[in-house]
Amino acid sequence: MKKFEEKSFRSNSIFKGKVISLKVDDVILPNGKEAKREIINHPGAVAIIAITKEGKLVLVEQYRKALERSIIEIPAGKLEPGEKPEITARRELEEETGYGAHQLTYLQTFATSPGFADEIVHLFVAQDLYKIEEKADLDEDEFVELMEVTVEEAEQLVQEQKIYDAKTAFAVLWMKSCLTKK
């Protein structure tokens, strides 16, 4: 879909970091005028709606420096170069929660901040979970606390803004609408 396409005629790389890169492109607008676009490139990520045998949602609390606070999220992590999202999903689920999943189903992909970033999140549903005996280590700069909540408890965490990110808000709504269907 290329409607209203904005073609770049100049691209300035500003920053290449460990996680994100920033460039500023000069583009031609559909009306022939020029504009600048500030763009973040990100490797992409996965997130996992993991549901225990008791029907609880698996969540992790972690500090998010960009927000200067800790929030409660579904397990998630960045894609390694060339890695299939399903592999990333299994690894992140294991590292962050100590769970493996006999059943892992792809649900949906979405862009998180299309106004300035190309980050996309591939969302999976993990069911029929089992505890990994020798849990893989987290990344050395990662600190998370695990919890398992009912859908009502998750809704309460949304109300209290302890669940505060788009992918987890989506996950809670998805879980609720699934439970309503039954």
* Interface segment toward its own copies; rule CB under 8 A; list 33-41, 48-56, 127-135, 146-154: 33-41
Q: What angle do CA 126, 110, 44 make, to 5 degrees?
A: 80
Q: Is 81 in the site for its own copies (CB under 8 A)?
A: no
CB 5 within 8 A of CB 37: no
Identity of the residue, 29 or 136, whose beta carbon is nearer to its own copies in the bound complex:
29
Alpha-carbon distance of 117 to 113, in angstroms, equals: 5
Span 134-173, contacts to its own copies by CB under 8 A: 140-141, 143-145, 158, 161-162, 164-167, 169-170, 173
* Smallest separation (angstroms) from its own copies to the CB of 68: 8
* Smallest separation (angstroms) from its own copies to the CB of 44: 11
Residue with tokens 């500003």: 14
* Interface segment toward its own copies; rule CB under 8 A; list 17-25, 89-97, 98-106, 128-136: 17-25
Q: Tell me if residue 83 is catalytic.
A: no
Going by C-alpha positions, the residue among 84, 16, 72 that lies closest to residue 44 is 84
Q: Is 83 in the site for its own copies (CB under 8 A)?
A: no
DSSP 118: -
Going by C-alpha positions, the residue among 28, 144, 47, 39 that lies closest to residue 88 is 47
Report the amino acid identity of residue 106: Y
Residue selected from 29, 87, 136, 146 as contacting its own copies according to rule CB under 8 A: 29
Q: Given the residues 54, 134, 140, 152, select the one marked as catalytic.
A: 140
Residues tagged active-site: 140
